């Protein structure tokens, strides 16, 4: 697997609407694996293709299923991680309830912001093999999905933030 370079503002690709994924070939499978590896290395919980300079409607999401679980690589029972692949995703339903939460972004290092997002969403898209999938997500997962899907439309969390600040070391 290959660690990809994550682009930062003001790279123009971060402001462009990405194109639909139409080919589900070996190159796409490798790209998805590389994106997970790049996201883990960064480290982050989500990564969209435009962030690695590819104008594709593709994002990956991965985080600890139990945020309280220690992440001990040497453990016999490593904590479970939730993993999602979003290809050509669309929000088909969003809760009326919205919540404020703190977000950061691998493409805007050192900056955090408070962003209002839907508490729950339903997303349809395709899996890595081009088969239709639907996800009903809420809370932290819904926030990550919305953040990554915004990247596919050239929207950054700072565009939606009600407050933005320079991160302190302990916040990063």
Q: What is the pLDDT of residues 30-85, one digit of tens each?
A: 999 999 999 999 999 999 999 999 999 999 999 887 654 445 555 566 667 899 99
Provide the percentage of residues in the chain whose pLDDT is more than 90. Answer: 85
Burial of 99: CB neighbours in 10 Å, binned 0-12, 13-18, 19+: middle
Q: What is the pLDDT of residues 107-154, one digit of tens each?
A: 999 999 999 999 999 999 999 999 999 999 999 999 999 999 999 999
d(C-alpha 13, C-alpha 77), whole Å: 40
Averaged confidence pLDDT in the chain: 93
In the residue annotation, 76 being an active-site residue is answered as no
Residue 108, classed as helix, strand or coil, is coil
Burial of 135: CB neighbours in 10 Å, binned 0-12, 13-18, 19+: middle
Catalytic residue among 148, 170, 171, 172: 148
Q: Domain 12-171 classified CATH 3.40.50.1000?
A: no
Q: pLDDT at position 57, please?
A: 98
Q: Does the global pTM surpass 0.75? A: yes
Q: pLDDT at position 73, please?
A: 52
Burial of 117: CB neighbours in 10 Å, binned 0-12, 13-18, 19+: buried
């Amino acid at each position: 697997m290959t660690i990809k370079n994550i682009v930062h503002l003001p790279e123009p690709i971060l402001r462009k609407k990405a194109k639909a994924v139409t080919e589900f070939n070996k190159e796409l499978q490798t790209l998805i694996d590389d994106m997970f590896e790049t996201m883990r290395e960064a480290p982050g919980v989500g990564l969209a293709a435009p962030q690695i300079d590819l104008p594709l409607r593709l994002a990956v999401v991965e985080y600890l299923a139990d945020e309280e679980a220690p992440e001990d690589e040497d453990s016999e029972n490593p904590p479970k991680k939730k993993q999602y692949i979003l290809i050509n995703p669309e929000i088909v339903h969003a809760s009326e309830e919205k919540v404020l939460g703190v977000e950061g972004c691998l493409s805007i290092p050192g900056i955090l912001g408070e962003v209002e997002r839907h508490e729950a969403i339903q997303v349809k898209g395709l899996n890595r093999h081009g088969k239709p999938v639907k996800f009903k997500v809420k809370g932290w997962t819904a926030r990550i999905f919305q953040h990554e899907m915004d990247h596919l439309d050239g929207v950054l969390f700072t565009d939606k933030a009600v407050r933005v600040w320079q991160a302190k070391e302990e916040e990063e």
